[in-house]
Amino acid sequence: MGRYSNCTYFENLYDAVNQIFPAVNRPQACTILRETILAPNDYELEFNNASYNQEQIQRLVARQLLDSCIQDTPEQTFYNVLESAAQIMKHMNDGYITTEDHEERTQYLSYINKQEFVLFAALAFLKSACDGDEKLENELILNIVRLREINDLILQYTRDAVEIEVGRDEFEQAKPIYRMLKSLQSLGYDYNFSPKERAGLGIDHENDNDLSDNFNYEHWLKRLMLLQLRKEIAMDNIDSAVPQNIEAAQEVEEDVSDRIAKLRGMADRRRFDKNRFRQLEESERSGYSNAADTN
């Protein structure tokens, strides 16, 4: 599975099904996605008084995932991604890394990783459905490569650290990367790095195995779904065990409290009371005095 084996952004696939079929609840959306991915190719899904085949659902999910990644237009989305990357490159190399700088970097990396996952999942659904839209598939691959390249640039030219000084040499290394990111904004949506540029920057993803023609996207979706199911089952087991653990802990706590209370009661009965001792002592003396006076 490589880059996506932790299923970090898998919930976005469930969200896509919910957006397509708003009348279904979350458990139903999960079931629809599982059956779409794991059921045999000739399987018919029936819900909401309608029947769908796998390819129909796959195409719908792919288009919904694509829509979720676009802000206004693809060109504007790409421009914004580059702008954010340039600002992070600047803020992380301007002399001192603040907590805000590091948080900005962390959030941005999470954002582009999520975008990459969503686009790759959309590509996988289109390939599995044999959509036949080669132009769209090539566009998706280009955008996935871009996100991977930008991710590499952020990881290589900014430090995963906070509240430290950044040296002059790091600033000089990051400066041309910042300028390059800014210049890419003016070169248009279809611009791509040359092989020489990729090699020089160490960000070559053109030949990634999971973007090759012989990659099995249907198999990838099935493995991803199985990994997610294992994760959900593990979480369910933890959730179901928590009440039992809490109840057992409460019983132990109550038992210990009862024992402590009993021990305290016994201690209270045995505890030396100085005032009470004096009262008894005075009563005893008084008794002796009264007896002597009588005699």
Tell me how far apart the alpha carbons of residues 28 and 121 are, in angstroms, rounded to a whole number.
20
Same domain (yes/no): 162, 52:
yes
Domain that holds residue 289: 244-294
Same domain (yes/no): 11, 131:
yes
Split into its structural domains, the chain has a count of 2
Same domain (yes/no): 264, 156:
no
The length of the chain is 295
Supply the pLDDT for residue 25.
Answer: 93
Run means of pLDDT, 10 residues per run, the chain, 295 residues: 86 96 94 93 87 93 94 86 95 94 97 96 94 89 92 95 93 93 83 80 87 93 95 82 54 51 46 53 58 49
Question: What is this structure's pTM?
Answer: 0.79
Whether residue 235 is contained in a domain is answered as: no
The amino acid that residue 265 corresponds to is: G
Same domain (yes/no): 158, 269:
no
Tell me how far apart the alpha carbons of residues 21 and 179 are, in angstroms, rounded to a whole number.
44
Q: Sign of torsion, CA 168 169 171 176? A: positive
Whether residue 168 is contained in a domain is answered as: yes
DSSP H or E segment with residue 79: helix 74-91
- Strands (E) located in the chain: 44-47, 50-53, 96-97, 164-165
